[in-house]
Structure 1
Amino acid sequence: MTVFILVPGMFTGTHVWRDTAASLAAAGARAYPVALTALDGPRGAAAAGTDLETHVEDVLAVIDAVVAEDGTPDGPGIVLVGHDYGIHPALGAADRRARLIDRVVYLDSGMPQDGVPALAAVPDQQLRAELAGRAAAAAGAGSATGELPPPARDEWRRWGSTEGLGDAALDRLTALAAPQPLGTLLQPLRLTGAVAEVPTTGVLCTGNGAGIEMVQMMVDMGDPALRALVDPRVTFFELPTGHWPMLSCPGDLADVLLRAAAGEGHRLEPAATDEPPAHLRPFLLEVPERPRERTGNVDLYLPEADGPPRPAVVLVHGGPVPADARPEPRDWPTLTGYARYAAGNGVVGAVVAHRLHDLADYERAAADVAGAVERVRADPRVDASRVALWFFSGGGPLTADWLAGPPPWLRCLAATYPVLAPLPNWGMSGTRFHPARAVADSEGLPVVLTRAGLETAEIAATVEQFLTAAKECGADVEVIDVPHGHHGFETVDPTDESREAVHRAMRSVLKHLLG
């Protein structure tokens, strides 16, 4: 009989597991929700001095009790499930009882690392910065006590998508929420490495962020932090709901947990070694080579003939991309292909490098792009009054600065398979990097949007959000569809349909620049 030990997340207790535990029991499994100190029981009980180690001990106590009840030398087959913050004490405990744990399930959680506190996984970036400030102040005062008040009913979205939660479930979540002891967020997780030998399953709630396809894309990019995910002992499931599946779809969650315990689930493919990854395959158009001038974080591709200053198309790559990625994004075939294509049509193609290496980097990436644009405009070969900006993929949120009160020299803004609103678990909903909101201030700026018909569901939802907002405010948006195109279709899908989409997009951008 499989045993599930269920560890709740921020502000929550055993109550969140009620329906999921009942479904698991009905299927013949045993389920043990963990009561975490100060988060379960009377309000404020034992809050002083509660830290991550306290919660690790809470989980260990349940593991040991289950093993003692079983009475066999190796214990029962234990599946340890950590939701949200709960993955931190779950991993801490699994590391010390690795031989007793059959599988660890990461339920819509991050990937904690040794020495990193749970504070790093707080999704809301502004709140994370505030807590870091409080932590520094507490350390200066020689104290790590205190607690974080639970969210009000309308504040849960700062902690994750509430998609799928009905009013009654949200009311109950709010009523039973407890303050989170700050020590649980500030104390670093300590792992010996033993838990690395335990099979794992990730359950991705797509209403809250990335699904399996997007994770596979990130693996294909060669991010070393994700290499462990292609281990055959690692499986994945998706649930089309928000951050609290034990409340929004408890039966579906129970089914996924049972299947995970049986070793089922999707396995990621390792990045190909016998051929280039998708983003490094050849550009779908045969465009002539052009001389490149590299100055700082700007590469210029110039038209062949000398003459008066030319308009410029500034191309901005997506991300986040690891800082040590080689070749770096401005050398990728898609960006260089578009830049050479622009130069072949008599305008300056400029490719910008920026430091979007993490979701917290949009601020500095925006500054990199703004500085680069001014350097392009200052070049004597560029007509500073006629510039177009073209953004790709995860660079999409950077369009917000240019949509919100565009300068007169910006003749067009283009975006190709872009992210046009932060995903819920990015923790950026309160930042300025929200194009679906900024489009209301675009003041007639022409937008050329190329949409991949086979886009990941998470990114496609942000595009639809943007288009809905654009329609409501009467923004000037031209949509170019690639019905059978995937994200990155210029190197993934070299079809006539894709080629025509690239031609159409470039023609539209040039029309706005040259008209």
Structure 2
Amino acid sequence: MTTISSSPIIILVAGHWLGAWAWDEVLEHLAAVQMRAIAMTLPGLDADDPARATRTLDDQASAVLDLMAQEGVSEHEPAILVAHSGANAPVSLVLDRHPELVQRVVWVDSGPVAPGSIFAPDIPDDVQELPLPALDVVARQASLEGLDTQVLERFQARAVPEPGPVLRQPVELSNDARRKVPTTMVCCSIPGAQVLELARAGHAMFAEVANLERLDVVDLPTGHWPMWSRPGDLAQAIKSAASRSN
């Protein structure tokens, strides 16, 4: 049996508008199977931070690395990074800067970004932040399958506007070693076979997937927020990924 003392630390990073709270149910399931996990709130997504809207992707990547250092992560004891949705940009930066610190990366309805990617290049410089859109708008951009009224109300109540600098900053990547890090893609709103097909076709959102050297694909059919719609199954997928040998 895997024990807390022997398992690698799992660091959970949620996507846009979300903080560590988004992983509460997943953390409960991981703890129940003796997995050592911690969730974090990226800079810019802490509602109590007065300088929140000025935070950048570099700030976010640095915060992930700082947390890894605090948790004793090293080349000899690397971490499992779990990145949901828009957390792919800062986590891609972490993989580029210190791939040796990551035993495996798990993308949750997400994937690595390509060099030079900008999430929202058309957002004007004077827009300081992007609040969570109305749910009907969100539903046109990402699947809300599996989310009941109570969950959606919590999402709206707790969502923090995404900082403008995070959305406008290009993701500068130069270290090909990031592509050698063992990778698991947990595909939810788009089936894994379709993701791989899009990657092979050079689709901008998935093109970087084709460059990964060690990739496992897991289908978990649900909407874009599986930490709420299927938390137990997502925790099991993370546990299985974390337990795999390199």
Question: TM-score by structure 2 length?
Answer: 0.86
Hey, what does 2:157 align to over in structure 1? 175
- After TM superposition, list the pairs within 5 Å mapping 1:368-447 onto structure 2: none
Cα distance between partner residues in 2 of 1:104 and 1:258:
12
Aligned-residue offset at 1:222: 8.3
Cα distance between partner residues in 2 of 1:48 and 1:213:
37
Aligned-residue offset at 1:220: 6.6
Check the 8 A contact 1:67/1:75 in 2, yes or no.
no
CA-to-aligned-CA distance 1:260-309 (integer Å, 9 cap, x gap): 12338xxxxxxxxxxxxxxxxxxxxxxxxxxxxxxxxxxxxxxxxxxxxx
Cα distance between partner residues in 2 of 1:200 and 1:147:
31
Aligned-residue offset at 1:153: 4.0
Hey, what does 2:85 align to over in structure 1? 84
Q: Return closer, same or farther for 1:115/1:213 CA change in 2, 3 Å cut-off.
A: closer
Q: Secondary structure at the match of 1:67?
A: coil
Check the 8 A contact 2:105/2:183 in 1, yes or no.
yes
Aligned-residue offset at 1:216: 4.5
Determine which of 203, 212, 225 is the counterpart of 1:244: 225
Hey, what does 1:102 align to over in structure 2? 103
Q: Which amino acid aligns with 1:34?
A: M
Determine which of 53, 58, 61 is the counterpart of 1:53: 58
CA-to-aligned-CA distance 1:189-247 (integer Å, 9 cap, x gap): 12232312211111110xx23x1232344467688945325x3x100101110000001
> Is residue 15 of structure 2 the alignment partner of residue 14 of structure 1?
no
Cα distance between partner residues in 1 of 2:136 and 2:27:
27
Hey, what does 1:114 align to over in structure 2? 115
Hey, what does 1:388 align to over in structure 2? none
Check the 8 A contact 1:55/1:89 in 2, yes or no.
yes
Q: Which amino acid aligns with 1:259?
A: S
Cα distance between partner residues in 2 of 1:227 and 1:179:
32
Q: Return closer, same or farther for 1:219/1:191 CA change in 2, 3 Å cut-off.
A: closer
> Is residue 210 of structure 2 the alignment partner of residue 227 of structure 1?
yes
Structure with the bigger RCO (C-alpha within 8 Å, sep 6+) is 2
Q: Return closer, same or farther for 1:61/1:216 CA change in 2, 3 Å cut-off.
A: closer
Hey, what does 2:168 align to over in structure 1? 186
Check the 8 A contact 1:81/1:107 in 2, yes or no.
yes
Determine which of 195, 203, 226 is the counterpart of 2:178: 195
Cα distance between partner residues in 2 of 1:227 and 1:261:
22
Q: Return closer, same or farther for 1:38/1:213 CA change in 2, 3 Å cut-off.
A: closer
Q: Return closer, same or farther for 1:95/1:167 CA change in 2, 3 Å cut-off.
A: same
Q: Secondary structure at the match of 1:243?
A: coil
Hey, what does 2:144 align to over in structure 1? 162
CA-to-aligned-CA distance 1:52-76 (integer Å, 9 cap, x gap): 11111121111111126xxxx6353
Aligned-residue offset at 1:23: 1.1
Hey, what does 2:4 align to over in structure 1? none
Aligned-residue offset at 1:10: 0.8
Q: Secondary structure at the match of 2:72?
A: helix
Aligned-residue offset at 1:159: 3.7
Aligned-residue offset at 1:47: 2.0
Cα distance between partner residues in 1 of 2:112 and 2:100:
21
Hey, what does 1:213 align to over in structure 2? 193
Cα distance between partner residues in 2 of 1:222 and 1:242:
24
Check the 8 A contact 1:164/1:241 in 2, yes or no.
yes
Q: Return closer, same or farther for 1:170/1:78 CA change in 2, 3 Å cut-off.
A: same
Check the 8 A contact 2:95/2:102 in 1, yes or no.
yes
Q: Which runs of no fewer than 5 residues in structure 1 stay unpaired? A: 120-130, 265-515
Hey, what does 1:439 align to over in structure 2? none
Check the 8 A contact 1:9/1:83 in 2, yes or no.
yes
Q: State the identity %.
A: 35
Cα distance between partner residues in 2 of 1:30 and 1:177:
26
Q: Return closer, same or farther for 1:219/1:9 CA change in 2, 3 Å cut-off.
A: closer
Hey, what does 2:3 align to over in structure 1? none
Check the 8 A contact 1:83/1:108 in 2, yes or no.
yes
Hey, what does 1:452 align to over in structure 2? none
- After TM superposition, list the pairs within 5 Å mapping 1:271-350 onto structure 2: none
Hey, what does 2:46 align to over in structure 1? 40
Cα distance between partner residues in 2 of 1:256 and 1:240:
12
Q: Figure out how many residues of one structure are paired with residues of the other and give that number.
A: 235
Check the 8 A contact 2:18/2:41 in 1, yes or no.
no
Cα distance between partner residues in 2 of 1:184 and 1:34:
17
Check the 8 A contact 1:38/1:45 in 2, yes or no.
no
CA-to-aligned-CA distance 1:52-103 (integer Å, 9 cap, x gap): 11111121111111126xxxx6353411111111011111122222111101
Q: Which runs of no fewer than 5 residues in structure 2 stay unpaired? A: 1-6
Q: Return closer, same or farther for 1:36/1:220 CA change in 2, 3 Å cut-off.
A: closer
Question: TM-score by structure 1 length?
Answer: 0.43
* Structure of greater Rg: 1
> Is residue 246 of structure 2 the alignment partner of residue 262 of structure 1?
no
Check the 8 A contact 1:153/1:171 in 2, yes or no.
no
Check the 8 A contact 1:34/1:58 in 2, yes or no.
no
Aligned-residue offset at 1:31: 1.2
Aligned-residue offset at 1:105: 1.3
Q: Return closer, same or farther for 1:148/1:227 CA change in 2, 3 Å cut-off.
A: closer
Hey, what does 1:31 align to over in structure 2? 37
Q: Return closer, same or farther for 1:219/1:37 CA change in 2, 3 Å cut-off.
A: closer
Check the 8 A contact 1:87/1:109 in 2, yes or no.
yes
